[in-house]
């Protein structure tokens, strides 16, 4: 019997109320073992910290292919495998190399229907013709709409009996051919207007216009979430009152999502060099599409990374930060605190961190402690925008 309690979330946030597995992982492992297929014909998608992959490997299966959206999950899988002395799996992106010849695909249900749509399309497109997709989740987070998404790509979708507050959905008989065109990103155009604000791409203009692209799994899709919009609305104050945007600043969009902040800043400040980084592969893919749609490939570099860990200390003049306040399905400030600590490390002495966060959170105190003096720029009933100066 595999000991799930030995698994850790590191390098992601760890806390007493957070663990590296749940009952859904156990049900998916049980289903795969009872199916009796070799590890080389199993693909695992959404295995947050490696629980499914390592339990199957512990049972003697090898050649398992795994895709995790979050780089923190990928690193946690490696760390857990090293601690357990486990091997027998390979990491892949969500592509044909992950799914070719796979007969059983185990999926931890993602939060968004768009992400599930992308996964179901990929399995139907590239897996074996007799492939079975087994998707599991916590019952309280499951909806009939998930069944509908799977039914668009498989002829049969059978919900299983719930156990330990989790349930599996078994989808079989893929219904569309590999020749079907690959899904394109969702795309929308946004205009940010502030008369006389300095938002301009050309002289005399008083608005900022850009295209936003999103693949499945990217937070808020191609829409502007209200936190990002709040920071965009504050950018004129950043342009007029910040020493960090003088000359040719080095800017980091930390946790870039679909790239709205990076692109908006690049359009407003042509001399700037920008690195947009996120721990989500879906976010990075979306940001790259957004950067290309706005013809900014020579100005913005996009990287998949955990809290800017590959970037040098003190390398940024300015950090733009819209930190998450969820860890999976849990509301938790830990992810935001990790990014604030990362922003402090990345910012040079005298540089600035501009942050937007839910007004009820205690981030201003954390920013003051980790970065330096922090002032409020704007505040609404839901969101606060602050400017922090990196202390010596």
- At 106, which CATH number? 3.40.50.150
| CA-to-CA separations, 12 to 75, 80, 89, 316, in angstroms, rounded | 9, 12, 21, 23
Tokens of 21: 């597995």
**CA torsion, points 62, 279, 120, 2, in degrees to nearest 10?**
30
Q: Are residues 108 and 240 in the same domain?
A: no
Task: Tell whether 179 is covered by a domain.
Answer: no
Q: What residue numbers bound the domain in which 317 lies?
A: 186-389
Peptide bond into 203 cis (omega under 30): no
Q: Are residues 165 and 312 in the same domain?
A: no
pTM above 0.85, yes or no: yes
Q: Are residues 69 and 206 in the same domain?
A: no
Domain stops at, among 152, 174, 196 = 174
Query: Mean pLDDT over residues 340-361, rounded?
Result: 95
Domain stops at, among 149, 174, 199 = 174
Q: So what's the pLDDT on residue 206?
A: 58
Q: So what's the pLDDT on residue 219?
A: 87
Q: What is the DSSP letter of 94?
A: S
Task: Tell whether 16 is covered by a domain.
Answer: yes
What is the Cα–Cα distance from 384 to 392, expressed in whole angstroms? 25
Proportion of the chain above pLDDT 70, given as a percent = 92
Q: Are residues 40 and 168 in the same domain?
A: yes
Q: Are residues 276 and 216 in the same domain?
A: yes
Q: Are residues 213 and 137 in the same domain?
A: no
Task: Tell whether 180 is covered by a domain.
Answer: no
Query: Mean pLDDT over residues 30-45, rounded?
Result: 98
Total domains in the fold of the chain: 2
Question: Does residue 225 carry a pLDDT above 70?
Answer: yes
Domain stops at, among 131, 151, 174 = 174
How far separated are the first and last CA of the chain, in Å rounded? 53
């Amino acid at each position: 019997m595999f000991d799930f309690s030995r698994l850790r979330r590191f390098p992601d946030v760890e806390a007493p109320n957070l663990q590296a597995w749940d009952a859904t992982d156990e049900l998916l492992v049980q289903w795969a073992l009872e199916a009796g297929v070799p590890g080389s014909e199993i693909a695992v998608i959404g295995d947050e910290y490696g629980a499914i992959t390592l339990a199957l490997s512990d049972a003697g299966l090898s050649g398992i292919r795994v895709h995790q959206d979050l780089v923190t999950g990928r690193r946690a899988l490696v760390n857990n495998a090293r601690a357990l002395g486990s091997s027998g799996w390979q990491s892949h992106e969500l592509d044909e190399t992950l799914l070719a010849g796979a007969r059983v695909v185990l999926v931890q249900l993602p939060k968004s229907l768009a992400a599930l749509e992308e996964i179901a399309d990929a399995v139907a497109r590239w897996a074996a013709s007799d492939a079975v997709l087994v998707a599991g989740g916590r019952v309280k987070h499951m909806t009939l709409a998930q069944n509908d998404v799977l039914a668009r790509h498989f002829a049969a979708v059978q919900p299983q009996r719930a156990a330990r507050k989790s349930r599996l959905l078994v989808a079989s008989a893929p219904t569309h051919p590999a020749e079907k065109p690959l899904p394109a990103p969702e795309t929308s155009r946004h205009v940010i207007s502030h008369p006389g604000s300095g938002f301009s791409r050309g002289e005399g203009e008083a608005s900022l216009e850009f295209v936003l692209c999103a693949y499945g799994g990217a937070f808020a899709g191609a829409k502007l979430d209200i936190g990002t919009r709040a920071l965009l609305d504050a950018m004129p104050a950043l342009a007029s009152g910040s020493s960090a945007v003088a000359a040719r600043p080095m800017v980091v969009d930390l946790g870039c999502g679909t790239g709205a902040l990076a692109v908006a800043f690049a359009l407003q400040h042509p001399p700037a060099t920008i690195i947009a980084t996120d721990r989500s592969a879906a976010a990075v893919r979306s940001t790259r599409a957004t950067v290309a749609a706005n013809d900014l490939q020579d100005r913005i570099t996009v990287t998949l990374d955990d809290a800017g860990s590959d970037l040098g200390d003190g390398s940024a003049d300015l950090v733009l930060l819209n930190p998450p306040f969820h860890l999976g399905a849990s509301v938790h400030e830990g992810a935001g605190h990790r990014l604030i600590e990362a922003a402090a490390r990345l910012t040079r002495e005298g540089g600035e961190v501009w942050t937007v966060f839910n007004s009820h959170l205690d981030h201003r105190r954390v920013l003051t402690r980790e970065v330096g003096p922090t002032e409020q720029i704007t505040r609404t009933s839901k969101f606060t925008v602050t400017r922090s100066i990196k202390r010596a």
